[in-house]
Amino acid sequence: MRPGAVEAMLPFFSERFANPSGSHRFARDARRAVDEARDQVAEVLGVSPGEVVFTGCGTEADNTAILGVGGLAVCGAAEHPAVLHPTEHRGGIVVGTDTAGHIDLDQLADVLSPDVAIVSVMAVNNEVGTITDLAAVSRLVRSLAPGALLHTDAVQAVCWLDLRQIAPLVDLMSFSAHKFGGPKGVGVLTIRDGVKLAPLISGGGQERERRSGTHNVAGIAALTSALVETDHQRISENARLAGLRDRLIDGLSGAIEGVVETVQRDRKTAGSAHVCLDGIESESLLFLLDQADVCASAASACASGAMEPSHVLAAMGVEHSLAMGALRMTLGHTTTVDDIERAIDVVASSVQHLRRVAVARP
Ligand code: PLP
């Protein structure tokens, strides 16, 4: 977490610990904290304070959008499971992607009809970092399904994109604090004024009946602190991290053969360094990296004893054998030049080791 976000939480565990729905002076103080947070969040997200709904996580925000609308949902095949699963469970339509992971606009156009209640297209892909052209998606949805709502899962967008430019294009946006230096277990769903959604969680009627449950005041304060700081640093961090990301991928490509960049750099965020390593099994590589304190992921799921490549790479049409060697490295506000140099050394020597062992095996 960002140190400022940790600091912002602390008073709400002690002297400011009150339920903002109460009526005494301490409750009013906690309510003021939530109101102030809502104003600041709204400013960064480019919406009005009444359009901000605090949730328990990004998954809840996504589920509320898809399930709360109730009718036919459409989404892309590379969406996070928090969008994909509710869409599929409700009998929605899943549209294919191109080789960079963008939703296929021709396929989307083919399925848009007056029956569609909601279209959900992520702003940034969580595995490979692809940035969606939401203006193009918005134009298409508004012209071919003007009655449909447009939702974007912007959970991975906060560090990289100006949300004030995205907000006017869509009706609903999802966010999660732990993706930008805030705590886990708190998120936001923005709901454009006038849009009616059935709440996923009903009870005490908090958040203007849109999300019941006692407010996580400490989490909301920390989310807000992290969001404001991320927004202030966004432009300089984009430039700094793009340089480090390029050094990481170029350093790896120079040290070992068979490094395939999954998505072109100009189509993805500065923090994403996803590559596929020819002839390598991610599982073995991640084990060696972990032993050397380099923490990365592959986004593979183990199904029926066999490692399956990620649904995102499958949607992009990445060849099965190459997808089995996926390595997902991400950079953020804590990443330093030294981290990058060490990662290059460790990944390169681990890959070389695995290749030597494979050759030596009878
Ligand atoms: N959507 C995307 C794109 C994500 O990357 C994540 C988290 O990994 C989520 C949704 C879910 O957010 P949360 O972990 O807060 O439930």
Q: What is the pLDDT of residues 182-221, one digit of tens each?
A: 999 999 999 999 999 999 999 999 999 999 999 999 999 9
Token readout for 206 is 């908090």
In single-letter form, the type of residue at position 202 comes to S
Angle CA 62–66–71, to nearest 5: 175
User: 67 near 200, Cβ under 8 Å?
Assistant: yes
What is the radius of gyration, based on Cα positions, of the chain?
Answer: 22
Residue 161 has what DSSP assignment?
S
CATH 3.40.640.10-classified regions of the chain: 3-230
pTM of the model: 0.96
Q: Which CATH architecture has domain 234-360?
A: Alpha-Beta Complex (3.90)
Ligand 1 centroid to residue 187 C-alpha, Å: 9
Which pLDDT score, from 0 to 100, does residue 171 have? 98
Distance of alpha carbon 330 from alpha carbon 338, whole angstroms: 15
Which pLDDT score, from 0 to 100, does residue 362 have? 64
User: Quick one: pLDDT band at residue 303, thresholds 50, 70, 90?
Assistant: very low
Phi, psi dihedral angles at 137 (to 5 degrees): -60, -45
Which pLDDT score, from 0 to 100, does residue 306 have? 54
Angle CA 318–322–326, to nearest 5: 95
Is it the case that residue 150 has pLDDT exceeding 70?
yes
Residue 11 has what DSSP assignment?
G
- 13-27 pLDDT, tens digit per residue, is 999 999 999 999 999
Ligand 1 centroid to residue 80 C-alpha, Å: 7
Q: What is the DSSP string of 185-222?
A: S-EEEEE-TT-----SS-SS-TTTTTS-S---HHHHHH
Residue 110 has what DSSP assignment?
H
**Ligand 1 lining (C-beta closer than 6 Å):** 57-59, 62, 80, 82, 122, 126, 153, 155-156, 176, 187
Closest residue by CA, ligand 1 atom 12: 58
Q: Which of 176, 188, 220 is the best mutation target for the ligand 1 pocket, counting ligand atoms within 8 Å of the beta carbon and taking the most?
A: 176
CATH 3.90.1150.10-classified regions of the chain: 234-360
Is it the case that residue 300 has pLDDT exceeding 60?
no
Known catalytic residue at 302: yes
**Is the CATH number of domain 3-230 3.40.640.10?**
yes
Ligand 1 centroid to residue 248 C-alpha, Å: 25
